[in-house]
Amino acid sequence: MSAASNPVITETRGVRVLLIALACLFLGVVLVLPLAVVVGEALAKGLGAWWAAIDEPNALAALRLTLTAAAIAVPANLVFGVCAAWAVAKFEFKGKQLLITLIDLPFAVSPVIAGLIYVLLFGAHGWFGPALAAHDLKVIFAVPGIVLATVFVTFPFVARELIPVMQAQGSDEEEVAATLGASGWQTFWRVTLPNIKWALLYGVILCNARAMGEFGAVSVVSGHIRGLTNTLPLHVEILYNEYNFVAAFATASLLMLLALITLVLKSLVEARAAAAARAAHKAREHNS
Amino acid sequence: MTKFRLALLSALTVAVSAHADVTLLNVSYDPTRELYAEYNAAFAKHWQAAGGEAITINQSHGGSGKQARAVIDGLEADVVTLGLAYDIDAIADKGGLLPKDWQKAHPYNSTPYTSTIVLLVRKGNPKGIKDWNDLTRDGVAVITPNPKTSGGARWNYLAAWAYGRETLGSDAAARDFVAKLFKNVAVLDTGARGATTTFAERGIGDVLITWENEAYLAQKELGADAFEIVTPSLSILAEPPVAVVDKVAGKHGTLQAAQAYIDYLYSKEGQEIAARNFYRPRDPEVAAKYAARFKDTRLVTVDEAFGGWARAHAEHFADGALFDQIFDGR
C-alpha cells in the first residue's frame, strides 16, 4: 500500500523514513545489539566451550529447576487466571474491584519485596517458620519457595489477558447455552473455552516467559546453593561473578533460546488467533 | 541366577550409597569460591580415606552479611565460613544456632587463614599510588564496596581508619582522612566481587581497595599484566572466621563430618590450599613456604585497634554511626 493510495497517511515520505529509521535504530541498539553480544560472548571460545558450559551438572540442575518452577507455576496460574477472569467478567459481586486490584498487585510490587514476603512468612523466624521446622518442612531456600515466588510474580498474566476478552464477549452465549439446558461444565467446555482459547494461550506463553526469566524474587528465596536451588538466571550471575564469562554467556544464551522459542510460539498463536477471528467474521457476514 | 545376583548386588549398592551419602552445606562469602571449590574436593578425598562415607559438599556464596541473614532465616548451613566474626555473632545472637563463644571452638579465634587489605591499581600505576594517603588526593577515583552490606568493605574502611589514626595522631583526624577518601569513591558496590568486576571488567576507577586474595585472583583471572598490587605501609589483619552451625548439623546428623571439615582447614593440606588460593596460612611452615607471595607489612587487628567487632560495629557501622555521618556529609 503506497502513501498515494492511502489518504490516511499525511506525513511526507521523509518524515516516514526518519521515523522508521529511528525506531529501527532504537531497536537495534537496545534489543538486537545486546542479543548479538550475548551470542558472541557465548561462542567466544568456540562451540566446544559453549557445550561444556551447558553440559555441566550445575547448569543442567539449574535448567531442570527453572523448567520445574515454570511447569508448576504456569498451570497453577492458568487455573487461577481462568477462574478469576470468569468471576470478574461474568458476574457482579461485592469486592469485584478489590479482586481486580489484587490480581494486579504482583505487577505493582517489586520482585525483591515479593521474595521478602515469603521470607517473612516461611523463614525460620517468620509466621509459619516454627510450625514448618517442627514438621521438618522446608519452603524458602528450597524448591517450594522458588516455585511460590515464581507463582507470585507470574500471577496476573493469564487473568489480565482474559478479563478484557471475556468482558467484551459478555455472557449472551452462555445464557443461550443455559436456556438450552447445558450444564455449567458443558457451557465452559463448549462455549466459553473456544471463545477465549487464543487469549488464554497468549497469556500462558507470557506467563511462561516470565516464570523462566524471573531473577529478583527467586534470588531472595533461593539460598544460592549450587546444583540445588539455583535457577538459570541465578546461575548466570554466579558464573559471571566467578570470572567465568564464557560459561555465563553460554548459559545466558540458553535462557535466550528459551525466550526465542516462547516468542515464536507467541507470534504463531497471534497469527492463528487473527485467522480465527477473520474466519468467524466471515461466517457471521455470510449468515446475515 | 546371574541376573538375580546382579539385581541383588545393585539393590545392595543402592542401599549402601543411600546410607552412606552425607551432605554438608557450607555457606560462605563471595571471594572464597575458588578456595572452597578446591578444598571441598580435597576434603571429600581425605574424609573417605579416613574411613568416612561418600560426602557431598554444597556451596552457597554471597555477601557475608546477606549470607548470615539467610542462615538466620533458615538456610540450613552445616558450616559457615564468613567474612568477619560479627556476622557469625549475629547467627549466634539472633538465630541461636550456635553458642555465643563459638570463636573459642577452633584455634586462632576460629580463623584458619587470614588476609589483609591491599590496593589494586592499573598497569604501570599511572596515578602513582603508594599508600593510603594517595587515595585522598584530588582526581583519584576509588572503588570499594559499601560497608553497610559488605564484610570486605568494613575491613577496607577500618584499615584506612587505622592508617589515618597512626599517621595523623587522633581519631578526629582519622575521621577527616576517611571522609576525604570516601569523597573520592566513584562506585559503591554491595559486595567485594561486584567491586572487583566494576574496577577490572568495566574499567572504572584508578584504585580498588580489596582483600589481598581477591586482588591476586583478579590478577590471575583477568591478566597479571593488567594490574599491580600495592601493599600499603599499614593495613589490617583480616580474619575471616569459620564455625560449625551446631543446631543445624545436629539436626542433620552431620556434626562429626562438619567438625572434621573445619579441622581439616588447619591441616598442612588445608593450609596449602588456602595459601595456593592467596589466603595467608596460619601454619608457620606453610607460611614460610609461601612467604614470597605475602608481603610483610604492619598489620593491626580489630581487637587491638578497634576494641573488637561489636564495638567497631556500634561506633562505625550501626545506623547513624560514623560511616553514615561521613557518607551523608559527602
DSSP letter at B207? Answer: E
Closest CA to B144 of B205, B212, B86: B205
- Per residue in B317-329, pLDDT (tens digit) is 999 999 999 988 7
CB atoms B60 and A133 under 8 Å:
no
Question: Which of B32, B71, B73, B80 to mutate: most A Cβ within 10 Å?
Answer: B73
Chain A nearest-CA distance from B112, in A, is: 23
Residue A122: closest CA among A106, A111, A133: A133
For residue B54, the SS3 value is coil
**What is the DSSP annotation of B151-203?**
HHHHHHHHHHHHHHHHHHSSHHHHHHHHHHHHHTEEE--SSHHHHHIIIIIS-
Higher model confidence: residue B149 or residue B206? B206
> pLDDT tens-digit profile of A174-228?
888 889 888 888 888 888 888 888 889 889 999 999 999 999 999 999 999 988 9
Confidence check: pLDDT of B10 > 70: no
Q: Kindly list the residues from chain B whose CB atom is less than 8 angstroms away from the CB atom of residue A243.
A: 217, 221-222
Domains with residue ranges and CATH for chain B: 2-111+240-265 (3.40.190.10), 114-238+297-328 (3.40.190.10)
> Residue B73: which of A140, A224, A240 has the nearest Cβ?
A140
Average pLDDT value for residue range A258-286: 84
Binning pLDDT at 50, 70 and 90, where does residue A7 land?
low
B96–chain A nearest CA distance, Å? 11
pLDDT at position B5 over 80: no
Q: What is the pLDDT of residues A77-108, one digit of tens each?
A: 999 999 999 888 888 888 888 888 889 999 88
Q: Tell me if A141 and B34 make a contact (CB, 8 A cut-off).
A: no
Q: Is the pLDDT of residue B7 over 70?
A: no
Q: Which residues of A touch B (CB under 8 A)?
A: 119, 122-126, 129, 133, 138, 140-141, 223-228, 238, 240-243
* CATH number attached to the domain at A47-287: 1.10.3720.10
ipTM of this predicted structure = 0.78
The DSSP 8-state label assigned to residue B208 in this structure reads E
Tens of pLDDT, residues B202-217: 899 999 999 999 999 8
**Taking the domains of chain A in order of start, what are their residue ranges?**
11-42, 47-287
- Using DSSP, state whether B321 is helix, strand or coil: coil
Contacts of A172 (CB under 8 A, 6+ apart): none
Region of residue B51 (phi > 0: left; psi between -120 and 50: alpha; otherwise: beta): left
Predicted pLDDT of residue A5: 56
Alpha helices of chain B — where are they, by DSSP H? 2-20, 33-49, 64-73, 85-90, 107-110, 151-168, 171-183, 192-196, 212-222, 246-252, 255-265, 268-276, 284-289, 302-306, 309-312, 322-328
- The answer to whether B323 and B157 are in contact (CB under 8 A) is yes
User: Chain A within 8 Å of B250 (Cβ-Cβ)?
Assistant: no
Residue B144: pLDDT band (50, 70, 90) is: very high
Of A138, A225, A242, Cβ closest to residue B33: A242
Q: What pLDDT does residue B1 have?
A: 42
d(CA A199, CA B157): 56
Task: Report the C-alpha gap between A219 and B191 in whole angstroms.
Answer: 15
Tell me if A124 and B221 make a contact (CB, 8 A cut-off): no
